[in-house]
Structure 1
């Protein structure tokens, strides 16, 4: 009987590993999920999502989520995810609070007891100390903690997800499906869509087309939003027409190949500002005046016709809160009572 013991032990070990396998790289049971696609059990749990790092399985609803991405935190707060801590950015700036949280949702995070983990540079020790049962990492961007993935995945289930190719609403749907917060996500999206419709019916559009951009005063240049950006898509939904950018201006790929922006700098920059109206994102009235005073831009249509408008410092990336603030800013700028 002893000669069968090694075989039995090996078989038992194999069955045990197979039944407990929660490796992110394990293949889905029946269907091959696409990146960011969620699969739910008929009983509700477990739930699976395919990530750039492989398959992630959550066996139960998380109760202590840590977000290492200050950008993703806004969407998690909007759907009332059980967030206990978040990475932060540089504190006490025009866009961030003293804790390094985005001003558009900093008060909400404080009210819900969300703790700042660190500012700017990801810190594994701080993340672990928060005792998470789910860690969320951005796949890209300046707030990505992807370099800590191999260390963190052994601490708690770790979700890697990109935000640069999704609107906050798409992220909300993914998070809602994965975290069991479908109704909360649906409610926030419906609320926002109602605000979009209200804005659309209560504003008079400025002269079209529109050049929408983030203007960098020091470089006398800008990143111009395209129709593939969240900002561009929202403007088009409101009825704005995005101005064409000449091919001669395109081609700067210093930030990698991007579809959401066109980088225009130096001598080519004025040629890119073709709109009859210019909307300045991530900007205050000071930036608006700097744009108008730029001698290289005096001949552009929007400057000559006094159609340059800053739409808020919190509009560089759009979550529920900043996107709602943008709509309200547009209502103030272009509300019909101003006609």
Structure 2
């Protein structure tokens, strides 16, 4: 039987050349971002992250981050610098400078003489309004993390920084560990409501299937509960990763058989179980409310790894 010829299409050929070029560390290269295609002439050596969420992913792939925006320091989520607990020590070891707390400051960014500025497209740490201004300082990479797993985020950042090999390695190592854990754990009754619960009466954010948290849970075999269709108007602006709930809709929206509390301690789980408006929900009645640690508010390699450890502790028989 005569062998069929292997036909290489133009699209496939371009893809192969692109992969070969990137594998060899070839520059310039084009990066797809949330605001179109960005052309980078060479591998960046001085990266400024305006997003405290994305800084952890940059550090995880050993990208040369010189400075970063920060969140409120010394709280549940962050260290005295305003850097997230899960990677604050790494940032300190590498001399990452804190630029500002909260709202981005273009002047402070310019003083660092960056050759790449990383901006998140959504979230409270987004500097999207300053993109035009920041583009006059250095190339700006806009990353949308509200519809991606942390693995997808580091893949983009790896390509943009020339650290794609490191990005691929940490994803491979994590995925191997995640697959092993999936075989070990016994899931609680499904579906689950995964959320950031605010005991102080503010709105509660429910993670959707598009969120990094939701993607990780589904990879482990969890099924995500979804609030009634009529309630989904509570979604936070244009974000795809959360649905906001609160007030009289809270008990209806938190309709999972088990609750997984992100950015939470055991004290937070206890506070939820004491909420009279949730007393008749299935999860509270059966005491299936699980705190997943304070470092899970935003997922990167560091926090996702810690989350696997927590889930193993909670759902693996001794």
TM-score (ref. length: structure 1):
0.83
1:25 equivalent in structure 2: none
Quote the residue 2:5 is aligned against.
none
In the TM superposition, 1:226-241 aligns within 5 A as 226-241=208-223
In the TM superposition, 1:62-77 aligns within 5 A as 62-77=44-59
Counterpart of 2:107?
A: 125
Are the aligned partners of 2:261 and 2:269 in contact in 1 as well (CA < 8 Å)?
A: yes
State the secondary structure of the residue aligned to 1:84: strand
* Aligned with 1:86 (options 68, 86, 94): 68
CA distance in 2, matches of 1:154, 1:278: 46
* Kept after mapping to 1: 8 A contact 2:34/2:143: yes
**2:308 is matched with which residue: 322, 327, 338?**
327
Residue 188 of structure 1 is matched in structure 2 by 170
Aligned length: 302
Give the root-mean-square deviation of aligned CA atoms.
2.3
Q: 1:286 aligns with which of 236, 245, 267?
A: 267
Aligned counterpart, 1:269 = 250
Match of 1:24 in 2: none
Check whether the contact 1:38–1:50 (CA below 8 A) recurs between aligned residues. Answer: no
TM-score (norm 2): 0.88
Asked whether the 8 Å contact 1:226–1:259 carries over to 2, the reply is yes
Deviations 1:11-62 (A, max 9, x none): xxxxxxxxxxxxxxxxxxx9xx9xxx99957871111124454542211111
Higher RCO structure, 1 or 2 (CA under 8 Å, sep 6+): 2
Q: Cα gap change, 1:265/1:43 in structure 2, threshold over 3 Å: closer, same or farther?
A: closer
Is it true that 1:45 corresponds to 2:27 in the alignment? yes
Deviation (angstroms), 1:264: 2.2
Specify every segment of 5 or more residues in structure 2 that has no aligned partner in the other structure, as ranges: 1-10
Bigger radius of gyration: 1
Q: Which runs of 5+ in 1 are unaligned?
A: 1-29
Distance 1:142 1:78, change over 3 A: same
Match of 1:314 in 2: 295
Q: 1:159 to 1:301 in 2, by over 3 A?
A: same
What is the deviation of 1:140? 2.0
SS state at 2:260 partner:
strand
